[in-house]
Amino acid sequence: MVHMLRVWGEHGQLRMRAPVHYTKELAMNTRNHVRAMTSTALRRAAGALAGALAGLVALAGVAAAQEGVTRQCLIVPADVEWMGTGITVTPREFVCVKGDGLWSHGGQGVEQLYPYYGPEGYGRDAYPADPEEPDPVLHIGALVGKIGPESYRFLIRHQTCFVPKITAELLLAMDDAPGTYGNNDGYLRVQVVKQPATWPLPNRVKMNPEMCAPPK
């Protein structure tokens, strides 16, 4: 088996590639040049090794940071006005909710279709008859949540993370006008990830609601 010697330049380009049994001759002819290049290559290798070790240490840090993380999968049907999740959230937690799938709020609009869309919602297809009346819908068809049955709803759409102000059960639903859930169809897979709310809070939380099993 012929071992190949490879020497890289400062910018990563391959400077030299030769069978090892040629290297003695090369070294005799251009000893100083090869020595300089080889030491550069060795320095690069040592640097890469140090980088890899630092990466392993960082990964260990991530693993340690993920202690206390809980991940739960839910199915949120479009036709349930508010679904209790059985998940209690507290001000000591950083909670992320992410949805995936297609659902529909029905066809009660001026448009001649039954739209199906994701947790981002559909948008408004009709306006309240009385502009003085507060509109009960934030964004029709969007995934929304409440913390406890008496609180205001908030938009989740594709993903929202938050630190709750109170301790209560997380409730989830499609946003639709109260009493008009009967003609809704479909469901979302939803993942809820909770972890201790220690600062600095995470900049990114990896979530995969698409991996949650569909309803049986």
Q: What would the x/- binding string for Ca ion be over residues 184 to 203, using CB under 5 A?
A: x-------------------
With 0-12 / 13-18 / 19 or more C-beta atoms within 10 angstroms meaning exposed / middle / buried, residue 1 is exposed
Find the binding residues for Ca ion in span 19-48 (CB under 5 A).
none
Closest approach of Ca ion to the CB of residue 104, in Å: 8
> Cis peptide leading into 202, omega within 30 of 0?
no
User: Is residue 180 part of the contact set for Ca ion (CB under 5 A)?
Assistant: yes
Which of residues 105, 153, 157, 194 is near Ca ion by CB under 5 A? 105
Closest approach of Ca ion to the CB of residue 148, in Å: 24
Q: What is d(CA 104, CA 78) in angstroms, rounded to the nearest whole number?
A: 7
Read off the tokens for 160.
């929202």
Asked whether the beta carbons of 192 and 85 are under 8 A apart, the reply is yes
User: Is residue 141 part of the contact set for Ca ion (CB under 5 A)?
Assistant: no
Q: What is d(CA 20, CA 5) in angstroms, rounded to the nearest whole number?
A: 6
User: Is residue 115 part of the contact set for Ca ion (CB under 5 A)?
Assistant: no
User: Is residue 142 part of the contact set for Ca ion (CB under 5 A)?
Assistant: no
Burial 123-155 (b: 16+ CB within 10 A, else e): eeeeeeeeeeeeeebeebbbbbbbbeeeeebee
User: Is residue 103 part of the contact set for Ca ion (CB under 5 A)?
Assistant: no
User: Is residue 176 part of the contact set for Ca ion (CB under 5 A)?
Assistant: yes
Nearer to Ca ion, 94 or 122 (CB): 122
Which of residues 99, 101, 106, 141 is near Ca ion by CB under 5 A? 106
- Which chain residues interact with Ca ion by CB under 5 A? 105-106, 176, 180, 183-184
